């Protein structure tokens, strides 16, 4: 018995309210994914309050809270003497499990902009607020740190 008809019906029903989000990064973007680590509230009925993502231990991480405030921090190394401009951001998604079979909820949300030259290694840190993301906190299982490079990128 084929499961395809049932899958198509589920997709049609679930996709009615979904916004189209590009699933593939641009050729000049590089992504690193990490599974959500949940921090619960200390209320009488605990609920997810914040998600943390560790992309590379000691190198880059991100978090998002239940109000939709998020921040991403990470080191970016530029190779070469000629300059390039780097933007770093994050996108959030729902996978099953964790970061497998991810459907991205957002496009990359870029929060830093740095010009780097001469083999510089620069720490990028930035964040923003998006209340609609806070409402989707329970569905988020994965995040991807995205770096966009323009100029003399290697």
Could you list the pLDDT tens digit for every one of the 154 residues in the chain?
Answer: 444 344 333 333 343 334 556 788 888 899 999 999 998 888 888 888 899 999 987 789 999 999 999 999 999 999 999 999 999 999 999 998 889 999 999 999 999 999 999 999 999 999 999 999 999 999 999 999 999 999 999 8
Q: Which residues contact 43 (CB under 8 A, 6 or more apart)?
A: none
Looking up tokens 């569905």, which residue turns up? 139
> What pTM value is reported for the model?
0.81
Q: Which residues contact 122 (CB under 8 A, 6 or more apart)?
A: 75, 76, 78, 86, 114, 116
Domain that holds residue 42: 21-151
Is 8 within the bounds of a domain? no
CATH of the domain at 45: 2.60.120
Number of domains into which the chain is organized: 1
């Amino acid at each position: 018995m084929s499961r395809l008809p049932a899958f198509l019906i589920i997709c049609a029903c679930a996709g009615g309210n979904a916004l189209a989000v590009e699933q593939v990064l641009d050729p000049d973007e590089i992504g690193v994914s990490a599974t959500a680590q949940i921090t619960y509230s200390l209320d009488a009925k605990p609920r997810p309050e914040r998600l943390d993502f560790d992309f590379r231990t000691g190198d880059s991480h991100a978090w998002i809270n239940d109000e939709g405030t998020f921040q991403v921090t990470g080191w970016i190394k530029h190779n070469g003497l000629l300059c390039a401009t780097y933007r770093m951001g994050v996108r959030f998604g729902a996978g099953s499990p964790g970061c497998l079979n991810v459907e991205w909820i957002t496009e990359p949300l870029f929060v830093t902009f740095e010009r780097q030259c001469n083999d510089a290694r620069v720490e990028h840190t930035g964040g923003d607020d998006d209340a609609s993301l806070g409402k989707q906190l329970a569905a988020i299982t994965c995040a991807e740190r995205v770096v966009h490079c323009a100029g003399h990128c290697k």
